[in-house]
Amino acid sequence: MNKIVASNVLPDHPRSLYILFFTEMWERFSFYGMKALLLAYMVSELQFDERKGYSLLGTYTALVYTMPLIGGLLADRYLGYSKSVIFGGILMVVGHLVLALPTEWGFFYGMAFVICGNGFFKPNVSSMVGGLYSKSDPRRDSGFSLFYLGINLGAALGGLLCGYVGQRIQWHYGFGLAAIFMILGLTVFCLGKRRLPEHVVSANKIKQSESLSSILRVDYLIYTGTLLLAPLFVEVFKMYAMTDYLLTALGVASIACITIIAIKLDKTALFKLLAAMVMIVFSILFWAFYEQNSGSLNLFAIRNVDMKVMGVTISALSVNNFLPPAWVIVLSFVFARLWPWLNKRNKEPSTAGKFALSFFFLSVGFFVFWIGCKMNVRTGLLPLWQFVGGYFFIVCGELCLSPIGLSMVTKLSPPRMVALMMGVWFFATAIGEFFASKIGAMMSVPHLDQKSPTASMPYYEGILLRIFFAAVVTGVVLWVSVPTLKKWMSDTK
Cβ atoms of residues 101 and 218 within 8 Å: no
Residue closest to 387 by CA, chosen among 398, 373, 401: 373
State pLDDT tens for residues 60-101: 877 887 787 788 778 877 888 888 889 999 998 999 899 888
- Three-class SS of residue 305? strand
CA dist 440 and 365 (Å) reads: 17
Across 183-200, average pLDDT: 80
| Whether pLDDT at 304 is above 80 | yes
**More confident of the two residues 395 and 411:** 395
- Helix 16-44 to helix 171-192 angle, to the nearest 10 degrees? 160
Cβ atoms of residues 399 and 339 within 8 Å: no
| Whether pLDDT at 370 is above 90 | yes
Enumerate residues 6+ apart whose C-beta is below 8 A from 432. 283, 284, 285, 286, 287, 288, 290, 291
Q: Is residue 416 part of a domain?
A: yes
Residue closest to 384 by CA, chosen among 317, 306, 294: 306
* pLDDT in the model for residue 297: 86
State pLDDT tens for residues 131-176: 777 766 767 766 777 787 888 888 888 877 887 788 778 888 888 8
Beta bridge partner(s), residue 211: 217
What confidence category does residue 462 fall into, taking pLDDT thresholds of 50, 70 and 90?
confident
| Whether pLDDT at 6 is above 80 | no
**More confident of the two residues 35 and 90:** 90
Angle at 263 between CA 258 and CA 269, to 5 degrees: 85
Enumerate residues 6+ apart whose C-beta is below 8 A from 389. 368
Cβ atoms of residues 275 and 489 within 8 Å: yes
Q: Is residue 2 part of a domain?
A: no
* pLDDT in the model for residue 4: 35
* pLDDT in the model for residue 444: 80
* pLDDT in the model for residue 8: 42
Across 50-62, average pLDDT: 80
* pLDDT in the model for residue 129: 80
Across 5-33, average pLDDT: 71
What confidence category does residue 212 fall into, taking pLDDT thresholds of 50, 70 and 90?
low
| Whether pLDDT at 220 is above 70 | yes
What confidence category does residue 432 fall into, taking pLDDT thresholds of 50, 70 and 90?
confident
Q: Is residue 436 part of a domain?
A: yes
What's the total number of domains in the chain? 1
**Percent of the chain with pLDDT strictly greater than 70:** 91
**More confident of the two residues 434 and 485:** 485
| Whether pLDDT at 107 is above 50 | yes
CA dist 315 and 318 (Å) reads: 5
| Whether pLDDT at 428 is above 90 | no
* pLDDT in the model for residue 205: 47
- Helix 296-304 to helix 453-489 angle, to the nearest 10 degrees? 140
- Three-class SS of residue 308? strand
Across 224-252, average pLDDT: 81
Please write down the HEC assignment for all residues of 187-242: HHHHHHHHHCCHHHHCCCCCCCCCECCCCCEHHHHHHHHHHHHHHHHHHHHHCHHH
CB-hemisphere CA count at 13 Å for 280? 27
- 418 CB neighbour count, 10 Å cutoff: 26
* pLDDT in the model for residue 9: 40
Cβ atoms of residues 412 and 493 within 8 Å: no
- 462 CB neighbour count, 10 Å cutoff: 13
Q: Is residue 7 part of a domain?
A: no
Which range is most confident: 182-186, 196-200, 210-214, 265-269?
A: 182-186
State pLDDT tens for residues 249-289: 777 777 777 777 777 778 888 888 888 888 998 999 999 99
Host domain of residue 329: 12-489
Following CA atoms 344, 398, 67, 113 in sequence, which dihedral angle do they give, to the nearest 10 degrees? -130
Task: Please measure the distance between the N-terminal and C-terminal CA atoms of the chain and give it in whole angstroms.
Answer: 7
Domain CATH number, residue 124: 1.20.1250.20
What confidence category does residue 46 fall into, taking pLDDT thresholds of 50, 70 and 90?
confident
Enumerate residues 6+ apart whose C-beta is below 8 A from 49. none
- Amino acid, res. 335: F
CA dist 233 and 240 (Å) reads: 10
* pLDDT in the model for residue 491: 62
Q: Tell me how long the chain is.
A: 493
Task: Give 11: exposed, middle or buried? Use CB within 10 Å, 0-12, 13-18, 19+.
Answer: exposed
Q: Is residue 190 part of a domain?
A: yes
- The pTM assigned to this predicted structure is 0.75
State pLDDT tens for residues 384-407: 999 999 999 999 999 999 888 877
Enumerate residues 6+ apart whose C-beta is below 8 A from 204. 76, 77, 80, 416
* pLDDT in the model for residue 10: 42
* pLDDT in the model for residue 492: 63
